[in-house]
Structure 1
């Protein structure tokens, strides 16, 4: 479901940028959900995983940029009114809330980072000259 068929037009599909869900972004910076619900630094790949889980038709556009946050590339076009989708949301606002809740439950978010291999932490002691 990563790309629509050639006769389907994505012009009227919902557009979702990662900044809409970012806890660090301000409302004037582009955040669309409340700070209590938002997640920190959501990636376009996490949004894609949730769309696949919900069986919602989507198109991933990696080269597109959000004008208010052009350092975080990518956007997703989503169609909510397709039959067979497990999405309960009818509006964009409800869908964004559902996305945030499912992104927070992803394994990549819940697993603690693996500790890096211990490098040689022995410091060479140098004698000070008097």
Structure 2
């Protein structure tokens, strides 16, 4: 990495809440809900930054102050020390959030979870006509 780990404190920070479609703006979402993704993790965001060829560091021990139950944040280096961009397609933090939110649903780890959920729901079909209100 050409920026060096010593300057990591100057990198931009991305919390998963910034691109979580389940959050409200008051809870920390920074992009529109329609463009956001569902429950991203710091690891998925980091992988997406790697895919975009943007240097990143995952800080798994850190938590977002508005939602301290979700741990992890990602530090990203959008610009080199000379001011040039690492990825010409990503010139701002906002653009990075939008690009990462597009990529997270296609994350390989997520694809496996979805396949497992689909196969699990097909295994045990529920019985029709059972449940609902009890007769008195």
Q: Report the count of equivalent residues.
A: 116
Counterparts of residues 1-130 of structure 1 (less than 5 Å): 5-6=4-5, 8-82=6-80, 85-86=86-87, 88-111=89-112, 112-114=114-116, 115-116=119-120
Larger Rg: 1
User: Is the CA contact 2:85–2:91 (under 8 Å) kept in the aligned structure 1?
Assistant: no
Structure having the larger proportion of residues in helix: 2
Alpha-carbon shift at residue 84 of structure 1 (Å)? 7.7
Distance 1:78 1:41 in 2: 20
Instruction: Describe the SS at the equivalent of 1:23.
Output: coil
Alpha-carbon shift at residue 100 of structure 1 (Å)? 0.6
Alpha-carbon shift at residue 87 of structure 1 (Å)? 5.2
TM-score (norm 2): 0.74
Structure 1 alignment gaps of length 5 or more: 120-130
Structure having the larger proportion of residues in strand: 2
Distance 2:110 2:72 in 1: 20
Structure 2 alignment gaps of length 5 or more: 125-136
Alpha-carbon shift at residue 99 of structure 1 (Å)? 0.9
RMSD between aligned alpha carbons?
A: 2.4
